């Protein structure tokens, strides 16, 4: 379960106040797979960071029951001088995973080859994303936060990523940000629409998509 309790988030942008969330109160049930929809610039990624706990609301609080992942595919916490394998071992220890089991999984899934044992600072952006996605999927969470991550890599890697996400979400919840409605429909059964600081939860995914598409046809306020 993820519960928003009178959550507000604003920040200053070019001298203007940007409203991400405005006194939001709602509950997302445990193991729900939710498509988070909204036009560009509404603050979906900011909302995901607040759910992950890496960004604090301006007011209110977000309460979790069960474990919540960092945003899947986030590579910002890897140490540049450590290899992919060493970074993976470090994360395994932090989250109490079987170290070698996680290393083997990430090595196999990321297909980095010899680069898996080279410093992270030498990785291309695509290699970093492969490592980050592999580690994110190798650690088991009750809820996964997924932000356009399956656009990484070639068609084969994207297909394997989607298949793995589908497998993981059979027994866990997820909050998914994607502009691809096919991906949203594949992974999600419910939806939440963010518009003008208001977050509305729909138990019916198609209702959420219809609301989002209606919003897209109107001008922002």
pLDDT digits (tens, 9 = 90+) for 106-143: 999 999 999 999 999 999 988 998 899 899 999 999 99
- Residue entry with tokens 């995973």: 97
Q: Which domain holds residue 191?
A: 1-67+141-221
The arithmetic mean of pLDDT across residues 158-178, rounded, is 88
Please check whether residue 78 is in contact with residue 118, taking contact to mean a CB–CB distance below 8 angstroms: no
Query: Is residue 72 in a domain?
Result: no
Output b/e per residue, 26-64; b: 16+ Cβ within 10 A.
Answer: eebeebbbbbbbbeeebbbbbbbbbbbeeeebeebebeb
Last residue of a domain, one of 140, 159, 176: 140
**Residue 99 in 3-state DSSP?**
helix
So what's the pLDDT on residue 57?
A: 96
Please check whether residue 177 is in contact with residue 44, taking contact to mean a CB–CB distance below 8 angstroms: yes
Please check whether residue 102 is in contact with residue 88, taking contact to mean a CB–CB distance below 8 angstroms: yes
- Give the rounded percent of residues in the chain with a pLDDT score beyond 70: 96
Query: Is residue 174 in a domain?
Result: yes
Shared domain check, 53 and 147? yes
- Is pLDDT above 80 for 154? no
**Both ends of the chain: CA-CA distance in Å?**
32
pTM of this prediction?
A: 0.86
- Is pLDDT above 80 for 209? yes
21-61: per-residue pLDDT in tens?
Answer: 999 999 999 999 999 999 998 999 999 999 999 899 999 99
Please check whether residue 130 is in contact with residue 142, taking contact to mean a CB–CB distance below 8 angstroms: no
Last residue of a domain, one of 92, 123, 140: 140
Q: Is the dihedral of CA 111, 115, 118, 123 positive or negative?
A: negative
């Amino acid at each position: 379960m993820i519960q928003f309790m009178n959550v507000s988030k604003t920040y200053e942008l070019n001298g203007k106040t940007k409203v991400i969330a405005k006194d939001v109160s709602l509950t997302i049930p445990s193991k729900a797979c939710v498509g988070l929809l909204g036009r560009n610039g509404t603050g979906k990624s900011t909302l995901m960071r607040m759910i992950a706990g890496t960004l604090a609301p301006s007011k209110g609080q977000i309460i979790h029951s069960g474990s919540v992942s960092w945003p899947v595919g986030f590579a910002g916490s890897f140490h540049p001088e450590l290899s992919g394998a060493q970074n993976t071992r470090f994360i395994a220890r932090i989250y109490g995973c079987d170290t070698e089991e996680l290393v083997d999984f990430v090595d196999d899934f990321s297909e980095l080859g010899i680069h898996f044992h080279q410093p992270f600072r030498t990785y291309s952006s695509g290699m970093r994303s492969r490592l980050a996605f592999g580690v994110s999927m190798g650690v088991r969470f009750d809820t996964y936060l997924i932000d356009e991550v399956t656009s990484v890599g070639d068609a084969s890697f994207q297909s394997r990523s989607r298949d793995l996400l589908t497998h993981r979400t059979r027994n866990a919840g997820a909050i998914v940000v994607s502009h691809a409605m096919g991906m949203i429909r594949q992974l999600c059964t419910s939806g939440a629409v963010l518009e003008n600081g208001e977050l509305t939860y729909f138990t019916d995914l198609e209702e959420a998509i219809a609301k989002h598409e209606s919003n897209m046809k109107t001008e922002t306020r």
